[in-house]
Amino acid sequence: MKVKELSLLIINEDEGMRQQLAALVSGRYRSVTAAAPEQVTSLLASKSFDLVLAPILESTGGEETDVPRRIEGVTVSALRPGVTGRKYEFRSVNQEASGCASNPFERVLLEMAIECAEMSVNQVKRIIERDAMF
């Protein structure tokens, strides 16, 4: 299966991060974004996905993700971009996409996309904070 044919569900509570990340990976994946587990549940009722990308929640000891338990993963990889150090889970949902989730090249490309998105979101937040001060 070609990478462009794969669908990627991006789960993140930060709207700016979701939009930036979806834009950055749009050349490689058909991506859909969701903010919360409730949105994921409704999306899963109407669509199927090949891959899921979600941050690992630090508040639960780093063991839980925003991905609901009903999304079973065939292959799970941990990603840790350098900007914020926040961990992400990259999970293939079906066997056809499992090679993509375990491919080191794909993981590096996603880590770079996450870093770019995090830097963009952080920069926008800084600009907004500075404007609010003046």
CATH for 60 = 3.40.190
Residue 19 above 90 pLDDT?
yes
Residue 37 above 60 pLDDT?
yes
How many domains is the chain partitioned into structurally? 1
Q: What is the pTM of this model?
A: 0.80
pLDDT single digits (tens) 41-70: 788 778 888 888 888 776 555 455 545 455
Confidence (pLDDT) at 73: 61
Confidence (pLDDT) at 58: 62
The whole-angstrom separation of Cα 84 and Cα 29 is 24
- What are the distances in angstroms from CA 99 to CA 86, 89, 106? 24, 15, 10
- What are the distances in angstroms from CA 72 to CA 9, 90, 125? 13, 12, 35
Q: Which residues span the domain enclosing 43?
A: 3-133
- For all residues of the chain together, what is the average pLDDT? 80
The whole-angstrom separation of Cα 39 and Cα 31 is 15
Residue 109 above 70 pLDDT?
yes
